[in-house]
Amino acid sequence: WLGDQSLLEAFPHIFVNSNQQQNKVANMGTWEGQEWRWCFQWRRNWFDRENEQWASFQLLIARAKLQKQIKDSWSWPIESSGMYTVNSAYKVIHNMRYPGLVDISFQKIWKLKIPPKAVTLMWRLIHNALPTIDNLQRRGLGLDSDDSHCVLCNEHPETASHLFLSFPQHDLQYAHLCYNQEEREKWDTIRSAITWCIWQARNNKVFRGKNIVVEELENNITFTSWSWLRLNKKSFSFHYDLW
């Protein structure tokens, strides 16, 4: 490879004419002191129509500065250090999918002081990447139409928006938990706790056959949101009995 594509892709006629198609770079030249000299072997002489491509090929490989004392290694061109990072890969993929759009939601979630699994859940929710029934069906999984209903209400098709925004008991949960919560960061933590607990209850129903008890779900949300805030917010002074 040189640049952003392989030499085979850039110079197909050069490759076809080579007798060294399966060779490694080390077997295609020799060192003369500290200078590398290429030794190519061709099947035939160049046709006139190939001369331009051959000249371009020579100019390109002349830019490759091989160093005798340094071993080959992988380099990640996105980072100046050449080291691969998940963060840089995410930015590349995000910019490809959403050119010019800053992923503010993910940046905001990343700063939340909640468990890493909850951060991942919120990220997947924002990107509509949770394995809800509608997403599974859209990906071609052959689920029966009878299995498409939300397991929490057993009335409507299961989608992320229905599961986390339209479930009948949500209004009670939001009103109960958001009372006296004015700071946006605290609200985001509470919202994450609600999402986490609903998803856990849904999975317990799907995979373990455990029935959903609304009061138990509300208590779980209350404790989870309180414990996350209590653990990570020094200014949070609510006693659990008052929460």
Residues 6+ apart with CB under 8 A from 99: none
Helix/strand/coil percent split, the chain, to 5: 55, 5, 40
Answer with the residue of higher pLDDT: 188 or 5.
Answer: 188
Tell how far CA 181 is from the center of its chain. 32
Rounded-to-integer distance, Cα 198 and Cα 221, Å? 8
Q: What percent of the chain has pLDDT over 70?
A: 84
pTM of this prediction exceeds 0.75: no
pLDDT digits (tens, 9 = 90+) for 111-120: 888 999 999 9
pLDDT at residue 128, rounded to an integer: 85
pLDDT digits (tens, 9 = 90+) for 29-80: 898 888 888 899 999 998 888 888 888 888 888 887 888 887 777 788 788 8
Can you tell me which residue has the tokens 């640049």? 3
